[in-house]
Amino acid sequence: MSGAIIYIKRDLKISDVQIEILVGTINIYSLLGSAVAGRTSDWIGRRYTIVFASAIFFAGAILMGFATNYAFLMVGRFVAGIGVGYALMIAPVYAAEVAPASCRGFLTSFPEVFINFGTYFVLG
């Protein structure tokens, strides 16, 4: 998102405050996805929940790509945030279920490690 902000701001003519809201709200929206991810994974299984999360995130990316105004872009962020919440909740659980006991802890720590690396590289 950081590289696209310049073009989004210019093309959609939105303010700095709207950019801040746009960037920050995906974290709020992901809470909704993670809140229902557990029940969904119990209902359709972990693997299909990850596929479902990917489809939701892809739909959000498509919506954001075709956004013509701020409201449309926020709808895309909402949909993508739901997918992010699903994926962040279920991927470590699925990894723990399929990984051998000898490397389970190592593999399940990857999402957290790479989230921190990503934050470091974006902010650093």
pLDDT 10s digits, 35-77: 999 999 999 999 999 999 999 999 999 999 999 999 999 999 9
Angstrom distance (rounded) from CA 4 to CA 6: 6
| 53 or 5, higher pLDDT | 53
Residue 88's identity, in one-letter code, is L
- Supply the pLDDT for residue 55: 96
**Mean pLDDT, to the nearest integer, of 27-42?**
92
**Mean pLDDT, to the nearest integer, of 91-110?**
87
- Architecture of the domain whose range is 5-123: Up-down Bundle (1.20)
- Supply the pLDDT for residue 36: 93
Within the chain, residue ranges assigned H as helices are 5-12, 16-44, 46-65, 70-98, 104-108, 110-123
| 96 or 1, higher pLDDT | 96
- Supply the pLDDT for residue 124: 59
| Domain range summary for the chain, segments of one domain joined by + | 5-123
In the structure encoding, which two tokens stand for residue 105, read together? 């802890």
Let me know: does 84 contact 25? Beta carbons within 8 Å: no
pTM: 0.82
Q: How confident is the model at residue 29 (pLDDT cuts 50, 70, 90)?
A: very high
Q: Which residues make Cβ contacts (< 8 Å) with residue 5, sequence separation at least 6?
A: 19, 23
Angstrom distance (rounded) from CA 50 to CA 88: 9
